[in-house]
Amino acid sequence: MQKEEIPTFLNEQPKVIFGRTGRELLIIVCGIVGGYSLWGSISPLLPGALWGVASVIIACIPALLALVIAMVPIAERPLEEWAMCWLLYIGMPRVFIYKPLEDDDTRENPALAETQKKTKQQINEEEDLLE
């Protein structure tokens, strides 16, 4: 009889180096590269020791931001997933369609019935366009 091995760590990502996952390392490296690129762009703008220190501090901001994004989960989800959810929510169009209920007034007033009929046709056309 053949023995089956059941994996026990299905929801865990493998650790690559320093106990960090590949996703975390990639985000941290992107932050370091962004900081170095920023430092290379702003350091030659003004000469002087004070500006050199300021440019190093400014260049550390993307690296620290990437470190926070990589290391801080909220509700067991990484921050980049929350950011993507927020962007999708902001990007979705808001469509509100009003569909009036049929009243007994339409039987008494043929002009009102005609107006409601046209409105229903317009709503149906808009729904067809949205689909």
Report which of residues 78 and 127 the model is more confident about.
78
* pLDDT-based confidence at residue 107 (cuts at 50, 70, 90): low
pLDDT band at 131 (very low <50, low <70, confident <90, very high): low
So what's the pLDDT on residue 19?
A: 82
Quick one: DSSP state of residue 10? T
CA–CA distance, 41 with 43 (Å, rounded to integer): 6
Contact between 99 and 126 (Cβ < 8 Å): no
pLDDT of residue 96: 76
Closest to 116 (Cα-Cα) out of 102, 129, 96, 131: 102
pLDDT tens figures, 11-68 = 777 788 888 888 899 999 999 999 999 999 988 888 888 888 889 999 999 999 999 9
Average pLDDT over residues 90-95: 88
Q: Could you tell me which residues are beta bridge partners of residue 73?
A: 78
